[in-house]
């Protein structure tokens, strides 16, 4: 009995058995591992959204966890398959396409290897489903205690693919500071979750937070940051820092993403914040 965990994050959906097949492959090699689904509803091919969910979830798992992420529009081309180990945090397995951008930025002490040892893949590798043929067996073998060093050749971390624009920064302007991010995920409640982290505001006073201007162009203009949903009138649109530490736009007891039954906004849409001085 080993108590390690493998998490799965993908854009595979839950309808086609793709995830079930990955679990079949994993359990054959590691019969007593626990598998946890993070999300399989990443917007198809949206690497930024996958990177975000991996980032906001991984730190709630034990440090011997193996995190598998597959959003892989380049499957079958020569993009690399990678395995990244972060001491005290976990192991990450993904295509080298930017899915690990947050992880790479957060943990400079990582080691990275290309998954090139054929013993870590199924005997037959398809052109379209490396989640099943490479990532799952690699995760299972690592969970069973196979050494990370056996996975394949060391990679210079500098060469790992990063998504540009994922980490917004304050742009000092003539009078007011401004920053631009985007909606990176929309949750079940219709909360618009941005890639704008709370720590960019850590030196702001409550008064300054109350004066921030948050804009989704052509859609919403909001003033100030609230503390929680529950204290506000149903139907009201608010901005707040969500449970994973990023700026969200939410409609209390409703959806900020929908107008009527139609989803009116999608991941990728720009969001700006302006800090009005004085």
Q: Does 38 bind a copy of itself (CB under 8 A)?
A: yes
221 forms bridges with which residues in the sheet? Answer: 215
**CA atoms of 242 and 254, how far apart (whole Å):** 16
Nearer to a copy of itself, 36 or 106 (CB): 36
Nearer to a copy of itself, 13 or 217 (CB): 13
Q: Does 9 bind a copy of itself (CB under 8 A)?
A: yes
Nearer to a copy of itself, 72 or 272 (CB): 72
The two structure tokens encoding residue 119: 């013993």
- Choose the stretch contacting a copy of itself; rule: CB under 8 A; options: 108-116, 140-148, 206-214, 222-230: 222-230
**CA atoms of 72 and 115, how far apart (whole Å):** 15
Q: Does 195 bind a copy of itself (CB under 8 A)?
A: no
Question: What residues numbered 231-270 form the site for a copy of itself, per CB under 8 A?
Answer: 231, 240, 242-243, 253, 255
Nearer to a copy of itself, 32 or 150 (CB): 32
Q: Does 74 bind a copy of itself (CB under 8 A)?
A: yes
**CA atoms of 159 and 138, how far apart (whole Å):** 21
- Choose the stretch contacting a copy of itself; rule: CB under 8 A; options: 101-109, 174-182, 209-217, 227-235: 227-235
Question: What residues numbered 97-136 form the site for a copy of itself, per CB under 8 A?
Answer: 126-129, 132
Among 105, 149, 153, 187, binds a copy of itself (CB under 8 A): 187
- Choose the stretch contacting a copy of itself; rule: CB under 8 A; options: 2-10, 99-107, 145-153, 269-277: 2-10
Interacting residue ranges for a copy of itself, rule: CB under 8 A: 1, 3, 5, 7, 9, 11-21, 23-25, 27-28, 31-32, 34, 36-42, 44-45, 53, 56-57, 60-62, 65, 73-77, 79, 126-129, 132, 185, 187-190, 193, 227-231, 240, 242-243, 253, 255
């Amino acid at each position: 009995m080993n108590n390690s965990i493998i998490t799965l994050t993908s854009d595979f959906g839950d309808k086609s058995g793709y995830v079930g097949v990955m679990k079949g492959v994993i359990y054959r090699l590691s019969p007593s591992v626990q598998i946890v689904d993070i999300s399989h509803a990443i917007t198809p091919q949206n690497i930024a959204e996958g990177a975000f969910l991996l980032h906001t979830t991984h730190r709630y798992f034990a440090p011997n966890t193996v995190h598998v992420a597959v959003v892989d529009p380049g499957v079958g081309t020569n993009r690399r398959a990678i395995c990244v180990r972060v001491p005290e945090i976990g192991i990450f397995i993904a295509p080298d396409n930017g899915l690990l951008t947050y992880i790479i930025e957060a943990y400079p002490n990582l080691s990275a290897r290309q998954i090139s040892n054929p013993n870590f893949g199924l005997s037959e590798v398809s052109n379209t489903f490396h989640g099943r043929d490479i990532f799952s067996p690699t995760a299972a073998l690592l969970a069973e205690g196979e050494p990370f060093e056996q996975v394949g050749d060391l990679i210079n971390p500098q060469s790992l693919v990063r998504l540009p624009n994922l980490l917004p920064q304050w742009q000092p302007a003539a009078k007011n500071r401004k920053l631009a991010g985007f909606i990176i995920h929309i949750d079940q409640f219709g909360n618009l979750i941005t890639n704008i982290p709370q720590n960019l505001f850590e030196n702001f006073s409550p008064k300054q937070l109350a004066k921030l201007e948050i804009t989704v162009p052509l859609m919403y203009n909001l003033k100030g940051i609230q503390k929680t949903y529950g204290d506000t009138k149903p139907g009201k649109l608010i901005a707040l820092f969500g449970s994973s530490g990023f700026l969200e736009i939410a409609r209390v007891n409703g959806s900020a993403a929908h107008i009527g039954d139609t989803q009116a906004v999608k991941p990728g849409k720009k969001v700006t914040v302006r800090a009005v001085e004085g």
